[in-house]
Structure 1
C-alpha cells in the first residue's frame, strides 16, 4: 500500500481531472475536497491509508453539523467517494473503502433547485430590451437572448466563437475546442437554431459592442470584451444585471434604480430578484418543454441527457401546463356533464 497524504491525494486526483473535465468542474472538485482535506488535517490523519469507515462517517456528521444543504452534502460526499475510487485504483487505499462513504439519497425536491427565471419575467425583460434604443444589442441583452432561447450552460456560451454564429442560417454551433470546453466534450457538440430576433440582437451586439480580439489560440470569441474572451465572473455579472426586474417594473424591494447599489456591476448578484446563468438555463428548459418541444430535442439543444430533463424539469413543466389547462378544462369536468 502506497503512502499518500490527503492533500497530496487531492492534488494528484485533480491533476487527472484536468485532462477530462472543464476548468469549472475541476474548481468545483477542489472546493469540495479541500473541506475534506482540512478536516483530515484537523483530525491528525496523515495518510489516506489510515482512513476507516468510521472516519468517513465522522466527516459526514461534521458536515451535517454545519447545517449544509442536503444537495451540497451529497455533492461533497460524492467528491470524496470519487477521490477514494481513484486512490483505490492506484493502491493507496483498500478497494472496499470507497463503498463506505455514505452518500445520502435525496428526494426530488431536495435534488432540484426551484430558483429559475420565470417565463413571464423572461418575456417582459426581452420585450424591454428589444424595444429599447439604449439597451438593444448591449452585452447583457445579447447574452440573455442566447441564454434564454438556447438554454445553454454558461461555459458553452463562453466557448462560442464569432465563426460559430451564422446569421443567414440562424444557427449557433457549439464545439469542444480546448481550452474552452463543453460539458460532455465532443458529445456536447451541436448546431442550434435561433429565431430572427435573437439574430438581430447578436448582429447589433457584434456591430456596436464587439471587440476585435483574439485569444491565445488565435480564435475570435463571439462574446468579447476589451481584454478578450469574458471570464465567468463577467458572464455572471451580465446575467444578474440583465434579469433585474426594475428594468420593466417598479422595484419589488422598494429601491430606486437610480440610487440602488444592486445596479452596479459587482453588486448585481445581491439583488434578491436577479438570476444567475443557471437559473436562466432552468427557466429556459422548462419553457422549451411547455412550448411543445419534445424532451429529446430539448436535451440536444441544452446538452443534457433526456433522463436528466425528465427528472429535474419535466415535472415542473407538467405542473405549469396543468395550471394553464385547469381553468379551461378541468374546472368544468363533471360526471353529470352530458355535453
Structure 2
C-alpha cells in the first residue's frame, strides 16, 4: 500500500467523482446518500483515515445499520455501496488488499428484494380515463407523464431525456437517446430504443404540446419534450407530477378521510406524503406487469422498458404465479392502450 491516505469523507468524494462518467445524477445521489451514513459512522468513532479500517469496523457498521431498523433492501444497498467504495480504495492503494471482501452483503429473499408497491392496473385505468375526459385536466403534465410512464414503462431518467424531436406523432413513436452529460439513460447507449405508443397517448401528448408545454430551450439549447418554466424539468418536478397525478381524490372520495380542498397532500411539496399517491417507479412496476398481461412477451417488454428479462422476472413481474404470457401480436405496441384491456 502507498503512503497516500484519504479520510472517509475524502474517499467518498473521490469515489463519486470517478463515477460521474458512468452514472446518472440520480444514481450518484443514491451512492452519496448510502455512503453518508458510513462517513458519519467513521467520524463518530474517530476513524480519520481509510487505512485504519478493519473487518471489525465493517461489521460494526452493519450492526449499526441493522440497529436503525431499516428495510432489508436499504441495508443491502448500504453494504453494496460500501463494498464498491472499498473496491475503489483498493484499486488506488488506500486500503489493504481484500478489505472489500470482508463486507458482508446480505442476501435477500425474493419478497424482500422486490417492493410490493406499484400503481395497480385498476387505479391507472380510472385515473387515465378521468384525465382523458376532463377538460380541466386533459393534457396537463400530471396527465401526460402518467400516460407515457404507464404505456411505455420507462424510468424517470428516460422521461427527462426526451426531446421534442424524439416524439413522432405520425409514426406513433418515442425515441429514447443517451445524450451525456446533461441527460443520460441508465444503460447508456444500450438503453437507446424506439417505442410505439397508441393513438390515445399521441392525443394526450398533442394536447399537452398545444395547451400546456412551455416553449423554452434548456441550458444546452435543446427543446425538451416535457418542459417547465425553467426549461428541462428537474427530477423533483417529475416526482411531484407523479405524486400529484396519482392521488385517488382526483376521481373518488379520499380513502384517508380528508377533504381535497383543505388537504396539505394536494400541495406540490407535500404530495409525496399522501399514502395513496405513487412514485414514478411504482408506475413503472405496475406498467411492466400490465404490459406482460396484455400479451407482450417478456423480451419485447424488456427492450421497451430497458431492463433485462431476468430483472423483470425477479423485481417487476407482479402477476400471480400461474399467469401465462400470451404470444406477441405483430402490431400490439401501437394498439397497447389501457382502455382496450381484455384481461
Same fold by TM (over 0.5)?
yes
TM-score by length of 1: 0.93
- Counterparts of 2:117 and 2:95, CA distance in 1: 40
2:298 counterpart of 1:295: yes
Partner of 2:35: 33
- Counterparts of 1:55 and 1:258, CA distance in 2: 52
- Counterparts of 2:33 and 2:263, CA distance in 1: 32
Partner of 2:220: 217
Partner of 1:235: 238
Q: Secondary structure at the match of 2:319?
A: helix
Larger Cα-atom Rg? 1
Q: Give the alignment's Cα RMSD to 1 decimal.
A: 1.1
For residue 130 of structure 1, the aligned residue among 117, 129, 132 is 132
The Cα shift of 1:259 comes to 2.1
Q: Secondary structure at the match of 1:191?
A: strand
Instruction: Check 1:241–1:320 CA distance in 2 against 1; reply closer, same or farther (3 A cut).
Output: farther
After superposition, the C-alpha distances for 1:304-333 in whole angstroms (9 at most, x for unaligned) are 11110011123x2234848xxxxxxxxxxx
Partner of 1:329: none
- Counterparts of 2:82 and 2:15, CA distance in 1: 11
For residue 72 of structure 2, the aligned residue among 58, 70, 73 is 70
For residue 284 of structure 2, the aligned residue among 268, 277, 281 is 281
Return 5+ residue gaps in structure 1 as ranges. Answer: 323-339
- Counterparts of 1:265 and 1:295, CA distance in 2: 36
2:275 counterpart of 1:309: no
- Counterparts of 1:247 and 1:321, CA distance in 2: 32
Partner of 2:16: 14
- Counterparts of 1:53 and 1:20, CA distance in 2: 29
Partner of 1:5: 7
Runs of 4+ in structure 1 over 6 Å off? none
The Cα shift of 1:263 comes to 1.3
- Counterparts of 1:76 and 1:128, CA distance in 2: 40
After superposition, the C-alpha distances for 1:281-317 in whole angstroms (9 at most, x for unaligned) are 1100111111111111111111111110011123x22
- Counterparts of 2:44 and 2:266, CA distance in 1: 42
2:121 counterpart of 1:119: yes
Q: Secondary structure at the match of 1:289?
A: helix
Counterpart mapping for 1:74-89 below 5 A: 74-89=76-91
- Counterparts of 1:206 and 1:23, CA distance in 2: 27
- Counterparts of 1:319 and 1:260, CA distance in 2: 39
2:203 counterpart of 1:200: yes
- Counterparts of 1:99 and 1:109, CA distance in 2: 26
Q: Secondary structure at the match of 1:26?
A: helix
The Cα shift of 1:216 comes to 1.8
- Counterparts of 2:245 and 2:45, CA distance in 1: 46
Q: Secondary structure at the match of 1:45?
A: coil
Partner of 2:55: 53
Q: Secondary structure at the match of 1:262?
A: helix
Return 5+ residue gaps in structure 2 as ranges. Answer: 325-343
Aligned residues: 321
Q: Secondary structure at the match of 1:172?
A: strand
2:256 counterpart of 1:253: yes
Partner of 1:142: 144
For residue 153 of structure 1, the aligned residue among 131, 136, 155 is 155
For residue 272 of structure 2, the aligned residue among 269, 273, 278 is 269
